[in-house]
Amino acid sequence: MLRRTAAPPRRRAAYMIEFALVGPLVLTLLFAALEWCLYLMTLNQAQNAAREGARYAVVRTDTYESFSGTRTYLNQNPPDTYDAGVYTQQQVVAWVQRYLNTAGAQINNLEITIYKVNSLGQPIDLNGNVIPEDPNAETLTNQGQWNQTRFGDLIAVRITGTYAPVIPGLSQIGVAPPVFAMSAMGSEGN
C-alpha cells in the first residue's frame, strides 16, 4: 500500500522576504556596474577627443619664421598677414567639443587646453623653457603659442572635467569622478 506524503509547505512569503532583502543589493550592484562602464567609456571618449584635437592642431600650425624673408614677403603683398593660415584656440576647442558631443560624452565642467610641450610632456614657452604648472589654462595656451610651433615640436591637448552620472541623484551626493585626458603630437603643418 502506498502511503501518501504531505505536500511541502508553501514558501511564497519566504521568497518575497528574501527578495526584499537581497533584491536591492543586487540591483544596486547592477546599476553600479553599469555606471562604472559608462564612466570608463567617457574616459575613452575623452582620450579619443584629445587625440583628435591634437591631430587637428598639429596639421594647422604655420610658422613663417622658419623661412627666411617670408615675413618681409607677406608684408609686401597685402592682404596676406604674418598669421595667415594660423588656426585659433577656439577652432581647436570647437573641434574637440563637437567630437565629444557626437560621441555623447557625459562631462561636466569641461575645460580644453592647447599648448606646446617638450618631450617629457612639460609645458614650454616659445624659447623652449619649461613653464611651471599653472592651474590657469589661459596662461599655458598664451605662453606656449601652439599655433606658431615649428615642424616636429610637440603640441598637447588636455581635457579635464568631471563625469556626469546617468543615475539621477548621484551627482547631488557628490559622486563625480574626474575625467582627464591628454594627447601630444608633433607639428606637421609648416
Residue 80: pLDDT over 60: no
Q: Please, which pLDDT band fits residue 77 given cuts at 50, 70 and 90?
A: very low
For residues 93-112, give the mean pLDDT: 90
Residue 96: pLDDT over 90: yes
Q: 0.85 exceeded by the pTM?
A: no
Q: What is the pLDDT of residues 113-169, one digit of tens each?
A: 888 888 887 887 767 777 776 655 555 555 557 777 777 788 889 999 999 888 877
Q: What is the pLDDT of residues 20-30, one digit of tens each?
A: 899 999 998 99
For residues 60-70, give the mean pLDDT: 56
d(CA 47, CA 166): 20
Q: What is the pLDDT at residue 188? A: 77
For residues 79-84, give the mean pLDDT: 46
Residue, of 33 and 3, whose pLDDT is higher? 33
Q: What is the pLDDT at residue 32? A: 85
Q: What is the pLDDT at residue 53? A: 92
Q: What is the pLDDT at residue 18? A: 87
